[in-house]
Amino acid sequence: MLLKKIGQPERNPDYPTKVQIALNLLQEFNDHHNEIRVQAVLADALYGEGHFMNQASKIFGGIQVVSQLSHNQNIWDRGQKKSVAHYFNFTNKGVNQIICIRGGEKIIATVSSARLKVDAHGVKRFVIALKYEDEEDYRNDVASDLSWRTKDIIQAYSLRWLVEVFFLDWKYHYGWGRSALQYDEEGSSRGLILSLLLDHCLLLHPEQTTRIENQLPAYTVGSLQRLAQMDALLEFISSLLEHTNPGKQLKKLGKMIKEVFQLIPSDKHTRS
């Protein structure tokens, strides 16, 4: 009996990989906003593969792309294949440097770097080993443009953490993640649009404009939202106390609240 070798099946275009989705979004952004000059694309370890880095750089005309490598990925050093961890722990140990994080705080970190051929990428990359004071193990950044300085790559990549701050604020402070009324792709996109509109509106909050005018760090949107909610509550109490018939006005407002904030049955709970 003859056995035919079966290769990897062709992927259904309706179900692209996360890497392809990210590249499609970058291309769409460039198509619609080509007047914006993008200097670097910063991505987490999921996108630290050669195809993504090459294509993301190409979309914006050959810009810098920075991601991360896992500690067990292989690099080539003087004709020898080594893991990234082995190379920076034994061959090229780090030294202490002062790093400016997200354009503000300065910290001391142990840093080492080299231009090495990454085996999985098939090309030479700028590979960096970075360890903060309270960390025991190195994290490994990888950059596509070999002309940048080590410190510039590290400081640029520190800006990637701001997206994590946005996710935290979006889920836990705004409440979009907990009270979404729509599901799937449409629900996600509309919630994101609403949250960005809220961001822009709160930039005009008196407390926020004062901070910006004095060149101080802006307040988080979540804290401004809570302040606005308390201001609205105090305004409601004041108007109620000043009304000629507070009891009647309170009943009217209570009826309005029940109409707006309706209770929704849950399928997750049993009737017993």
Let me know whether 143 and 179 are in one domain.
no
- Measure the CA–CA gap between 126 and 115, rounded to whole angstroms: 4
Angle at 63 between CA 47 and CA 79, to 5 degrees: 65
Contact between 183 and 177 (Cβ < 8 Å): no
Let me know whether 189 and 126 are in one domain.
no
Query: What does the block give as tokens for 140?
Result: 């490994």
- Measure the CA–CA gap between 34 and 28, rounded to whole angstroms: 10
Let me know whether 85 and 179 are in one domain.
no
Let me know whether 222 and 148 are in one domain.
no
Contact between 136 and 151 (Cβ < 8 Å): no
pLDDT, tens only, 84-134: 999 999 999 899 999 888 877 788 999 999 999 999 999 999 999 999 888
Q: Residue 53 carries which side chain, given as an amino acid letter?
A: M
pLDDT at 270: 53
Contact between 80 and 88 (Cβ < 8 Å): no
Closest CA to 126 of 47, 56, 68: 68
Domain of residue 218, residue span:
174-243
Let me know whether 134 and 239 are in one domain.
no
Whether residue 248 lies inside any domain: the answer is: no
Whether residue 82 lies inside any domain: the answer is: yes
What proportion of the chain, given as a percentage, has pLDDT over 70?
86
Let me know whether 27 and 140 are in one domain.
yes
Let me know whether 134 and 222 are in one domain.
no
Structural domains in the chain (count): 2
- Measure the CA–CA gap between 221 and 176, rounded to whole angstroms: 13
> What is the per-residue DSSP string for 202-240?
HTTSHHHHHHHHTT-PPPPHHHHHHHHHHHHHHHHHHHH
Which of 159, 193, 213 is the endpoint of a domain? 159
Whether residue 2 lies inside any domain: the answer is: no
pLDDT, tens only, 171-208: 665 555 555 555 666 666 776 777 777 777 778 888 88
Let me know whether 237 and 129 are in one domain.
no
pLDDT at 23: 97
pLDDT at 138: 92
Burial (CB count within 10 angstroms: exposed 0-12, middle 13-18, buried 19+), residue 57: middle
Let me know whether 145 and 180 are in one domain.
no
pLDDT at 268: 55
Say whether pLDDT at 2 is over 70: no
Whether residue 166 lies inside any domain: the answer is: no
Let me know whether 198 and 237 are in one domain.
yes
CA distances 212 to 91, 100, 195, 203, Å, are 47, 21, 20, 9
Let me know whether 203 and 139 are in one domain.
no
Look at the block and give the residue holding tokens 């987490």: 44
- Measure the CA–CA gap between 265 and 124, rounded to whole angstroms: 58
- pLDDT-derived band at 1 (thresholds 50, 70, 90) equals very low
Let me know whether 127 and 206 are in one domain.
no
Whether residue 13 lies inside any domain: the answer is: no
